[in-house]
């Protein structure tokens, strides 16, 4: 279930940056070059962090948004209780989390081979399937277990400058960049600017990029055509039976076991949002259970009918582009 603060700062910016003849965003790039030269520590005012030559030696582990002021780019720490994130049974999330932990353990091998140290993942699926929850869980592990930094991507040049500042001050620290609703971000800021950030002139080494989208068919194929931008495209389906049982147990512990078991049996294919509404409607508003389930089934069926087809639950997906299907595997 999405945290209300998650991604709140994503869509502040415009497409009106000044382009040079070389195609880069000259003003901000020059600012980045000037700002990054002396960055080694952080100056702190409340939750606002500025890169500078002297001050606090490192960022606290946590979620950060990227912003721009007259003084240059800065990071703002976002409020999120990562220790309170509900961990539902999820084999896909377990698999991805294990892979990312291994990636950071083996990061020095990339440098020894002369390779850019980065991995990329796109999570796609219907609204409410748990994509954001999966990202939150991976990010919480990065923060709580590895002391890492999680950055919410927004305006590409500002985000890139902030990532470079982090890398300048802490070359080996785990860095996790979240592109929530990538298709929406691309519509706001443009495809070319994000491609430059992922593997062009604005890219940063030593990073895991994770994007979510409800509509992968809206993404330009350049985002998923080759490893290096996003290496995996993974389908996230609706919560399975054990996840639904765990959710009801965690969120409705006072409801008797027989009722929770009945809910689990009648909510196959439901999103987390629909599971939550079942609890709210029946336990808080005291609506009739049968009427609530009928109403939510109709809503869920409509939601499912709007989604592209999915393959198996371990991440094989088919992205339809016109009449041509292409398979991107795990």
Res 267 pLDDT > 90:
yes
pLDDT tens-digit series, residues 193-241: 988 888 877 788 889 999 999 888 888 888 877 777 888 888 888 888 9
Torsion of Cα atoms, 105 then 227 then 196 then 324, to 10°: -150
pLDDT at 64: 95
CB 56 within 8 A of CB 44: yes
Read off the pTM: 0.71
pLDDT at 181: 92
Query: Count of CB atoms within 10 A of residue 231's CB?
Result: 17
Please list, in sequence order, all residues whose beta carbon lies within 8 angstroms of the beta carbon of residue 35, skipping any fewer than 6 positions away: 51, 72, 73, 161, 165
pLDDT tens-digit series, residues 113-125: 888 888 899 999 8
Domain ranges for the chain: 1-237+310-330, 241-305
What's the mean pLDDT when you consider all of the chain?
Answer: 77
Q: Residue 307 has which token pair? A: 């989604």
Strand, helix or coil for residue 26: helix
Place of tokens 């952080």: 42
Burial 176-187, CB ≥16 within 10 A → b, else e: bbbbbbbbbbbe
Torsion of Cα atoms, 181 then 183 then 187 then 190, to 10°: 110
153, 73, 76: which is closest to 120 by C-alpha?
A: 153
Backbone angles phi, psi at 253, to 5 degrees: -65, -20
Mean pLDDT of 300-318: 52
* Architecture of the CATH domain 1-237+310-330: 3-Layer(aba) Sandwich (3.40)
CB 125 within 8 A of CB 213: no
């Amino acid at each position: 279930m999405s945290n209300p603060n998650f991604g709140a700062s994503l869509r502040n910016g415009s497409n009106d940056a000044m382009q040079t003849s070389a195609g880069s965003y000259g003003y901000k790039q020059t600012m980045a070059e000037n700002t990054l030269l002396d960055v080694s520590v952080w100056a702190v005012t409340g939750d606002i962090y500025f890169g500078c030559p002297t001050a606090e030696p490192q960022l606290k582990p946590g979620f950060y948004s990227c912003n721009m002021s007259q003084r240059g780019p800065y990071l703002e720490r976002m409020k999120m209780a990562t220790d309170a994130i509900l961990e539902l049974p999820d084999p896909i999330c377990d698999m991805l989390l294990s892979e990312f932990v291994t990636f950071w353990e083996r990061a020095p091998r990339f440098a020894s081979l002369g390779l850019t140290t980065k991995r990329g993942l796109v999570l796609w699926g219907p609204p409410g399937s748990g994509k954001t929850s999966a990202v939150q869980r991976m990010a919480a592990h990065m923060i709580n277990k590895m002391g890492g930094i999680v950055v919410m991507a927004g305006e590409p040049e500002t985000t890139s400058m902030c990532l470079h500042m982090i890398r300048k001050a802490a070359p080996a620290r785990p860095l996790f960049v979240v592109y929530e609703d990538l298709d929406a971000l691309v519509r706001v800021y443009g495809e070319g600017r994000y491609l430059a950030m992922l593997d062009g002139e604005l890219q940063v080494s030593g990073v895991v990029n994770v994007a979510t989208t409800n509509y992968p068919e809206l993404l330009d194929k350049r985002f998923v055509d080759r490893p290096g931008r996003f290496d995996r495209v993974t389908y996230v389906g609706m919560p399975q039976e054990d996840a639904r049982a765990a959710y009801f147990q965690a969120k409705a512990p006072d409801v008797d076991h027989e009722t929770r078991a009945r809910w689990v049996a009648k909510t196959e294919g439901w999103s987390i949002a629909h599971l939550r509404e079942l609890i709210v409607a029946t336990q808080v508003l005291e609506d009739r259970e049968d009427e609530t389930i009928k109403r939510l089934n109709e809503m869920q069926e409509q939601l499912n009918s709007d989604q592209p087809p999915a393959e198996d639950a371990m991440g094989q997906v088919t992205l339809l582009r016109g009449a041509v299907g292409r398979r991107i595997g795990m």
